[in-house]
Amino acid sequence: MVGINPDGTLRGKVALVTGASRGIGEAIAVRLAMEGAKVVVSARTAEAGESKLPGTLHDTIDRIRAMGGQAAFVKADLSTEADRERLVAEATAAFGAVDILVNNAAVTFFIPVETFPKKRFDLMMEVQVWAPFHLSQLVLPSMREKKSGWIVNISSPAGIHPKQPYNRRGGGTVYGMCKAALERFTTGLASEVYDDGIAVNVISPGLVDTPGVAVHGLINEQTKDRVQPIGFIAEAVYRLASGDPKTMTGRVDYAEPLLKELGIAPAELV
């Protein structure tokens, strides 16, 4: 039976996963917990009714605890500096210094450049670029001290430069800018902390059927055949969050090709 392995490869490790009230973040949290990690999850939705979308932080930790895992949540708005600092402080108070940071949280608006409001541009950059940067700053001192750590940033194919024939509808430019910046941050930080035994990688999912994807209508007749099980991205993150920092760092990967390269099939999520 699939479940939590308290003696798994992440035994004794503390993982912090943002954007984990539903979808990809929830799946990542569950997968890390399955390998024995103590998991702290964060998002803006802690209770039912706080979001129009299904899923809460309570649901995520209840799912992990029901299978014998250790989990806690910290409700936080990653667009604010104070909440980011409180998140790391409370995660550390709950289980100890963070060994694994997964920057998954995002807020996204699909609006053409011509009419994109500065307020929303600033919010996307704050949550998708500055928040991962700042959270990394907050966890790096303890990782450096231990000479061990893993940071995994969640990107998207949107970070790839568009190719002709162009999609004249537009709307994804700012999202792509955020992901491209996140990927460059990842490789730069990987080079800075290489000698400290800290791995920094970026991974992109395929098209996954999540509540957020549904809101933006990204699954349709043209894309439905490309939908990928959520277990692929969860497994890929686990592998990057447990790999040798000397050989698996500074990578910009996509979930399915990475698993094929490693010869690994996704584990069934509890």
Catalytic positions are 175
Q: Phi, psi (5° rounding) for residue 74?
A: -130, 115
Handedness of CA 145, 9, 201, 25 (dihedral sign): negative
Q: Could you count the other beta carbons within 10 Å of the beta carbon of residue 32? A: 31
Handedness of CA 15, 260, 105, 210 (dihedral sign): negative
The tokens for 13 are: 């490790």
| Residue where the block lists tokens 């920092």 | 245
Which residues touch 241 (CB under 8 Å, ≥6 apart)?
A: 10, 15, 32, 100, 102, 150, 152
What is residue 222's three-state secondary structure?
A: coil
